[in-house]
């Protein structure tokens, strides 16, 4: 990560019934985080509605300093930059600010207009990341002839099979 913050990745010892590894959970968290940050930067609240307008004085100050007069948490950018995937394990992923000042800013900003944590659109992005991760694990048994290869049967990832079968169907 560009600012030097590194997520804490832990691994469960013993039996693990999660379909995901810690690294995959971190990637799912990153997908959700990307969606959340995009929504906040677009000045939308947790209901995907436009965020409450700024007070006239603060809006004028932001405009004077070359910023958009909207509730986008972007005065210095420090609050948005501090929101990261804090930790990930096979069982859960934690998103949040990496410093106390940003945590306080989020708390007080949320009292004015709730923009943290996830909105329905953000949850859709998270669910899509989960589905994509599941599909990446799916394996299929394929006969070589079904995709235009000579040889016997073998296993391949579903994504590869779909791409190969689409390419051979187009040819």
Q: Residues 57, 90: one domain?
A: yes
- Rounded Cα–Cα distance for residues 118 and 129 (Å): 14
> Are the C-beta atoms of residues 136 and 64 closer than 8 Å to each other?
no
Per-residue pLDDT of the chain (171 residues; tens, 9 = 90+): 446 778 888 777 776 777 888 899 999 999 999 999 999 999 999 999 999 999 999 999 999 999 999 998 888 888 999 999 999 998 889 999 999 999 999 999 999 999 998 999 999 999 999 988 887 777 666 665 555 555 566 666 676 767 776 666 666
Residue of 85, 88, 96 whose CA lies nearest to 12? 88
Q: Residues 72, 90: one domain?
A: yes
Q: Residues 36, 48: one domain?
A: yes
Full residue range of the structural domain in which residue 155 is found? 139-170
Considering the entire predicted model, what is its pTM? 0.76
Domain assignment present for residue 3? The answer is no
Q: Residues 108, 164: one domain?
A: no
Q: Residues 131, 144: one domain?
A: no
């Amino acid at each position: 990560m560009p600012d030097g913050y590194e997520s804490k990745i832990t691994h469960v010892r013993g039996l693990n019934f999660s379909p995901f590894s810690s690294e995959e959970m971190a990637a799912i968290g990153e997908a959700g985080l990307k969606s959340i940050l995009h929504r906040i930067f677009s000045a939308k609240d947790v209901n995907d509605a436009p965020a409450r307008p700024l007070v006239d004085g603060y809006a004028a100050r932001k405009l004077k300093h070359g910023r958009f007069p909207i509730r986008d948490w972007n005065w210095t950018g420090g609050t948005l930059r501090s929101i990261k995937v804090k930790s990930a394990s096979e069982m859960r992923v934690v998103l949040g600010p990496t410093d106390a000042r940003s945590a306080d800013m989020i708390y007080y900003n949320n009292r004015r207009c709730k923009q943290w944590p996830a909105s329905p659109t953000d949850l859709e992005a998270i669910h899509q990341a989960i589905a994509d991760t599941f599909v990446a694990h799916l394996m299929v048994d394929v006969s070589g002839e079904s995709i235009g290869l000579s040889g016997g049967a073998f296993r391949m990832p579903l994504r590869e099979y779909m791409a190969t079968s689409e390419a051979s169907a187009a040819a």
